[in-house]
Amino acid sequence: MNVVRYVIVLAALAVAAVPPLASAQGPSSITVVVPADIRSLDKAVENLFNSAIVGSNILDRLFQFDEKMRLQPMLALSAKTVNDRTWEFKLRQGVKFQNGEPFDAQTVRYTVDRAKNFPRSALPYLVRDITSVETPDPYTVRMTTGTPDPTLPNKFAWIDIVPPRYAEQAGLRFGEQPVGTGPYRLVSWAKGSEIVTEANPNYWGGKPTIARVVYRIVPEPATRTAMLLNGEADLITNLDPDIVDRLANSPRTKVVRGIGLRRMLLVIGPLQRPLDDVRIRQALNYAVDRDTIIRTILRGYARKTNGLIHSIIAGHLNQLDTYYDYNPAKARELMAAAGYPGGFAVDMYTTVGTFPKDKETAEAIAAQYRQVGIRVNLITMEWGKFFAQLNTKQMRGLSYMRYGNSIGDPSEGYFYSVWSKGVRPYVTDARVDEMFEKAQSTVDPQRRISLFREMERHAITQVAPQIFLFELENLFGLSRRLNWTPTPEETINLRGATLAR
């Protein structure tokens, strides 16, 4: 057990500070436009990035990630290992929720219990191995896990901290009327249309300089762009690659680019013939011309990747990103070997406007599949229905989808979709299970990453649990008056954002 390593790395967080907020300006307001409807701001109910765009500015977490995915303090000042299975967190003092409830160690204990036991909670996969939460004093928390968990602090960069008394009283309504310790508080919510927040004057990090943030839900990419160009919006997400140059050259707008954590793929649904054959899954990978899609549809704002670990996360194998380069002859060969020389039919699902060029990309893949004899029935859905059916395993076949990484760790992709005991495993593998469980219980960082690299190589070449495509670059359209720096996450962290004078 390399306890010293963890003490050094994470104790250093105690001296790091959340980026300071600029000095107060006059009353100000911005409008942020998001592409998909938001049903709840409670991650225990809806654990999605589009909800976190709003919720992350109302609720805080113990830690946060910076622009290089390094863990930074938030409500916790430091974390260190006490032994192989116990982490100790030192908490920030003097913090209050927006309703006046104090933040302390009991708050963290309650948040963990709620994440585990809330009805239909979407968070247990992050906390289910926590066996006990001790609070030796009001600002110290010790968490013990059933097996060694070197990623525990990372998980608390995603779990929102909630006020016990209010959350208990609100129950399922908490997601509609959230109360947090964050820089903004909820003012109003017109479902399917608009969410209005205002600056929290008692925020522990200093009152935000932007007094009011309005979030508008606009599914149509062209409408989002028009709003930005017309001065009706200050920030739009999921920027259409076709209009990057136009926004960059406009006197009213600008484009902010950054490394992203949006790994686009085709999810393989509950297994049925012929997708239960690894040769068919490999053929589906070889039959996609990713280079052409990136060049012509995504205008170069993407990076082809293979595997379940994002390219900026330790453990990713850059050398295998070309393993499934376009090879239609190889695809036909594999299909014939699997008993489908004439091809087969498959359903493919996609959203429209939720991700940049989602429908266009799905159409291009369907056309490429037809060239090798795979007959695609393309089905479009709005995001809410799409995700609900994917989550309940109703969508058989292929689904064009984005997987993020909420904890900045190589385990996320496996934990969520391939490990047989994970959140939503469709294609599983006994060897992956064995290697994953070994890696997850390995505390030494270098040995752990080595195990993940070994597992990644096996998953890519021998399992093909997904159709690997590419990672989208984060593209945001901003009004020129807004000063804001993104992180690789898809949340919109407005702490430190300012308006030009």
Cβ 11 vs Cβ 78: under 8 Å: yes
pLDDT value for 468: 98
The partner residues of 216 in beta bridges, in order of sequence, read 33, 194
Q: Which stretches of the chain drop beneath a pLDDT of 50?
A: 1-27
**φ/ψ bin of 206: left (φ > 0), alpha (ψ from -120 to 50), beta (otherwise):** left
Residues 6+ apart with CB under 8 A from 220: 353
Cβ 282 vs Cβ 334: under 8 Å: yes
C-alpha dist (Å) from residue 198 to 14, 44, 201, 203, 419: 29, 24, 9, 12, 41
**φ/ψ bin of 357: left (φ > 0), alpha (ψ from -120 to 50), beta (otherwise):** left
The partner residues of 236 in beta bridges, in order of sequence, read 33, 477
Residues 6+ apart with CB under 8 A from 32: 53, 213, 214, 215, 216, 233, 234, 235, 236, 237, 492
Instruction: Give the residue from 387, 377, 318 showing the smallest Cα distance to 346.
Output: 377
306-344 exposure pattern, b = at least 16 Cβ within 10 A, e = fewer: bbbbbbebbbbbeebbebbebbbebbbebbeebebeebb
C-alpha dist (Å) from residue 432 to 419, 438, 453: 7, 10, 12
Distance from C-alpha of 32 to C-alpha of 491, rounded to nearest angstrom: 12
pLDDT value for 125: 81
Task: Quote the pTM value.
Answer: 0.85
Write out the two tokens for 216.
Answer: 């508008």
**Start and end residues for every CATH 3.90.76.10 domain found in the chain:** 3-182+481-499
Instruction: Give the residue from 410, 404, 332, 316 showing the smallest Cα distance to 368.
Output: 332
pLDDT value for 471: 96
Fold of the 3-182+481-499 domain: Dipeptide-binding Protein; domain 1 (3.90.76)
Distance from C-alpha of 45 to C-alpha of 193, rounded to nearest angstrom: 20
Compute φ and ψ for 154, nearest 5 degrees: -60, -35
Distance from C-alpha of 221 to C-alpha of 429, rounded to nearest angstrom: 39
C-alpha dist (Å) from residue 349 to 270, 365, 390, 426: 14, 12, 10, 16
Tell me the pLDDT tens digit for each residue of 148-177. Answer: 999 999 999 999 999 999 999 999 999 999
Compute φ and ψ for 71, nearest 5 degrees: -70, 130
Considering the domain delimited by 259-473, tell me its CATH architecture: Roll (3.10)
**Start and end residues for every CATH 3.10.105.10 domain found in the chain:** 259-473
Q: DSSP labels for 310-364?
A: -TTSTT--GGGTTTT---HHHHHHHHHHTT-TT-EEEEEEE-SSSSTTHHHHHHH
Instruction: Give the residue from 493, 490, 242 showing the smallest Cα distance to 356.
Output: 242
| Angle at 335 (CA atoms; ends 332, 340), nearest 5 degrees | 115
